[in-house]
Amino acid sequence: MAKHIPTEGGLRRTKSAERRAEILEHTITLFAEQGTDASLRAIGGAIGVSHAALRYYFASRDELLVEVYRSHENERREQPAPRHASAVASMTRSAERNASIPGLVELYATLTTDALHAARHPVTHEFILNRFRRVRSELSEKVRESQLSGDLPADLDSEDVAALVTAASDGLQLQWLVDPEAVDPRRSLALLDHLLQPNEGPVL
């Protein structure tokens, strides 16, 4: 694997960043095919990277998992939802993008499950805690904007709505992956949107 570890100046930085991106990409494919419960060593074996090389880029399995997810999320955040999309509409948009990348919803489920054990998975816990806070805060702001413009009833607590919309989207993606014929996240999210904005037309 030594030939993959670059050795000079700028070239090193470029090659190193490329190599890191390559590992992230191969890892998500592996997750889609084989699940996320492999060790860092097993991941290295499966994607053809030595354990030492993998450790050069990622301190632990948890860090690799978090970075794979973060790289996809950053990509998605570069294409934000339209300015006036409702909280539910922008969550639906991101749920649909997640679903289109094989392995990503599985990875997200693994990260949120690992995050429940902060002592064993401190890096994952920190990442998921902050991600949930950021997602809720962004949705909450969207809700307050819609309340100011009269599109949402003013008596709803924006933070309770934000937690609800986030939860609904997460939970629906999970049910859909387990039983794709039985659950359509888009329909249930459209229903939630309709419940929040009762005057915005019929349910899907």
Under the rule (CB under 8 A), what is the footprint of a second copy? 34-37, 105-106, 109-110, 112-117, 120-121, 125, 128-129, 132-133, 136, 155-157, 160-161, 163-164, 166-172, 174-175, 177-179, 182-184, 187-189, 191-192, 195-196, 198, 202-203
Nearest to a second copy of 27, 57 (CB atom): 27
Q: How far is the CB of 171 from a second copy (least distance, A)?
A: 3
CB atoms within 10 A of CB 158: 20
Q: How far is the CB of 128 from a second copy (least distance, A)?
A: 6
Q: How far is the CB of 139 from a second copy (least distance, A)?
A: 12
SS (H, E, C) 31-79: HHHHCCCCCHHHHHHHHCCCHHHHHHHCCCHHHHHHHHHHHHHHHHHCC
Nearest to a second copy of 57, 115 (CB atom): 115
Structure tokens at 114: 């690992």
Nearest to a second copy of 57, 111 (CB atom): 111
Amino acid at 67: E
Nearest to a second copy of 68, 115 (CB atom): 115
Short-list 199, 200, 143, 197, CA closest to 166: 143
Q: How far is the CB of 117 from a second copy (least distance, A)?
A: 4
Give the C-alpha separation, 18 to 83, whole Å.
33
Q: How far is the CB of 14 from a second copy (least distance, A)?
A: 36
Three-class SS state of 151: coil
